[in-house]
Structure 1
Amino acid sequence: MMWTKLTIDTTVEAVDLISAFLDEKGVEGVMIEDHVPLTEEDKAAMFVDIPLVDGVDDGTAKVSCYIDDSFNIETLRADIAAELTRLEAFIPVGSKNITLSNTEDKDWMNNWKQFFHPIRLYDDIVIKPTWETVEDAKPDDIVIEIDPGIAFGTGSHETTKLCIGQLKKYLKPGDMVFDVGCGSGILSMIASRLGAGFVHGMDIDELAVRASEENAKLNHMGEDKIKFSCGNLLADNYIGKGTTFQLDRSTIKETQHLDVDRQYDIVVANILADVIVPLSAVIGPYLKDDGYFITSGILDVKENDVTDAMKANGFEVIDVVHMNDWVSVIGRKK
């Protein structure tokens, strides 16, 4: 099917009224582009770790929507033009230009698969999609099969590579590992294959947890070795539903002694610096003394923020590794 993209050049002031008009006409969704700067509250909520490009707010905006063949495009276009003329008597509506373009209805949920091929890391670790075979397999390879679906993580990003390298360096056979922000479960599964006695992966996204569980099954890993749960340590200070690991529901600000049922030799968190910084204040009770806090997902410009936070929360920074613009910081619990 071919879709028609309809774009209206207008003003920020008129965006809401135009969006409401399109909704009345049966359009099920709109995309708005403008130059209105994000507030500090917006930026904090987004956990953005990539520098934002600030444009000049000139008051202009674009409202776009995608129309299928159930609409009469020319009739809709004429109706929009008439509505813009009516609104112009009350508010600025901009140039009122309406442009049309066609886009093919592709299988976006699956087309990305053509770009995901087996990845070899550190010579003996292979991450492969379920639909590919490993052509250069070696007898001692650790092979992880994965179907990422809509969960983040295929193993190709520098941050994942950094965490894998640190797990190879610090994980000892039998260690207990806590993977905070497990995504598709890659780090949890690799930790298990590297010899961890037990791995607990956690994510705030239920879909990510579901994907991790399915990927563990693909790799024949049972719940006696690896388990996933949904929870948000920063929001609730507890590990969420679907798990037997429960904490005192008091917040970290109210008590310094949490009733933690299980402590780990290693906590690994491949997230963002702006999450790792507050996480370092609550993760200590989950670690055994001298346990390792392996972190990545950190842009080099945020390295000092993370190391300072670790030091302020009872960790000795013992290792910092760079890969292009990304950094892995490892702390040891004192």
Structure 2
Amino acid sequence: MSWTEIVIEVARDQAETLSDALMDAGALSVSVEDADEGTEAERPLFGEPGMEPAEAAWERSRVVALADEGADHASIVSQAAVACGVATPNYSLRPVAEQDWVRLTQSQFEPIHIGKNIWVVPSWHDAPDPNGLVLELDPGLAFGTGSHPTTRLCMEWLEAHAPQGLTVLDYGCGSGILAMVANKLGAAQVIGVDIDPQAIESARYNSERNHCEIDYYLPEEFATSSHPQRFDIVVANILSSPLKLMAPMLTSRVAAGGKLVLSGILARQADEVAAAYAPFMKMSVWAEHEGWIALSGQSDGTA
């Protein structure tokens, strides 16, 4: 099947309304782009984690509606205009070439080399170094493929402090990637916890594919489980705001003499996160990558 894109340039305040109207008029999907993309007037839309712009629109927005090649494109645009109470706008059509979309998507994801010996490899690739620590992991809905600096920092910390024979808690486990690294580095027991049921499902699937024996729980399930509640190593790759709120809980999960690793923290947030943990454990910057940092600390050895 072939498709056609209907391209309409509109003002910022019309982009969302027109997008909804185009969908109602028969478009298969709609996206909004910066009409000034590639020019000096281009303006990126971004925000800090958890503070992204609520509206993905630019002062001059380009609304792109996907429709079947044989659809009545003029009718789709006119119906949408009527629904918005505006005159029918000018538009252009762009043919969408036939492509092997699966192969195209897969080509965008190559094996990722992390630390000294870790490889995160999509299932459609061969491992560049089969003797390395290889994780087969496809991009998915749960956070954590090793491409983000915060995930990379935690993986590098685990590699540098191999948890051979130790117990590890991955709190906010996402895809389960950190839990799997710990397991493959010889941890005696690894537990993953996440608030998202979909993440738990994804982590269990990924662990099975990678032959890792890891138990995953929602927080309330873990709290009532028969597993020990304190660990030699606790890793939490989340975001600075929840990490600060979770300081009492996360530090209480660290066994006497155990270590705590935190990431998901921008470099400028390091001091405030460390201050939140100061009453419980001294935390310091272990490493920084692309503006993100990992904090680490060790309990004082008391129960």
User: Which band: TM-score by shorter chain?
Assistant: 0.7 to 0.9
Question: What is the identity percentage for the equivalent residue pairs of Structure 1 and Structure 2?
Answer: 29
- SS in structure 2 at match of 1:188: helix
What CA deviation, in whole Å up to 9, does each residue of 1:133-158 have, x standing for no partner?
335444xx333332343433332443
1:285-304 per-position Cα deviation (integer Å, ceiling 9, x unaligned): 32223332211232222222
Corresponding residue SS for 1:289: strand
CA RMSD of aligned residues (A): 3.8
Distance across 2 between alignment mates of 1:117 and 1:30: 28
* 1:219 and 2:210 aligned: yes
Q: What TM-score, normalized to structure 1? A: 0.70
**1:33-72 pair list within 5 angstroms:** 47-48=50-51, 63-69=63-69, 71-72=71-72
What is the distance in 2 between the residues matched to 1:12 and 1:101?
A: 22
Distance 1:111 1:57 in 2: 28
Shift of 1:227: 1.3
Aligned pair partner of 2:91 in 98, 108, 119: 98
CA distances 1:230-262 after superposition (whole Å, capped 9, x unpaired)? x3xxxxxxx15xx5x2359xxxxxxxxxx9952
1:175 counterpart = 2:193: no
Separation in structure 1 between the aligned mates of residue 188 and residue 242 of structure 2, nearest angstrom: 27
Distance 1:291 1:318, change over 3 A: farther
Unaligned 5+ segments in structure 1 are 35-42, 232-238, 249-258
C-alpha contact (below 8 Å) 2:223/2:229 kept by paired residues: no
Q: 1:64 to 1:134 in 2, by over 3 A?
A: closer
For 1:74 and 1:194, how far apart are their aligned partners in 2?
60
1:71-90 matched pairs, under 5 angstroms = 71-80=71-80, 83=82, 87-88=85-86
Taking the aligned partners of 1:154 and 1:9, their CA distance within structure 2 comes to: 36
Q: In the superposition, relative to structure 1, how do residues 134 and 75 fare at CA in structure 2: closer, same or farther (>3 Å)?
A: closer
Conservation of the 8 A alpha-carbon contact between 1:246 and 1:261: no
Partner AA of 1:4 in structure 2: T
Q: In the alignment, is the contact (CA less than 8 A) between 2:22 and 2:76 conserved in 1?
A: no
Count of aligned pairs between the two proteins: 288
Q: Distance in 2 between matches of 1:56 and 1:131?
A: 35
Task: Say whether the 8 Å CA contact 1:47–1:274 is kept in structure 2.
Answer: no
Whole-angstrom distance in 2 between the partners of 1:33 and 1:227 = 42
Amino acid aligned to 1:188: A
- Aligned-pair distance for 1:80? 4.3
With over 3 angstroms needed to count, the CA separation of the structure-2 counterparts of 1:20 and 1:221, relative to structure 1, is closer
TM-score by length of 2: 0.76
Say whether the 8 Å CA contact 1:179–1:269 is kept in structure 2. yes
Alpha-carbon deviation of 1:70?
5.5
Indicate conservation of the 8 Å contact 1:173/1:194, yes or no.
yes
In 2, distance between residues paired with 1:29 and 1:79?
A: 16
What secondary structure is seen at the aligned counterpart in 2 of 1:116?
coil
1:256 aligns to what? Answer: none
CA contact 2:121–2:134 (8 Å) conserved in 1 = yes
Alpha-carbon spacing, 1:80–1:155, altered in 2? closer, same or farther (3 Å): closer
Q: Which runs of 5+ in 2 are unaligned?
A: 35-46
Matched with 2:201 is: 210
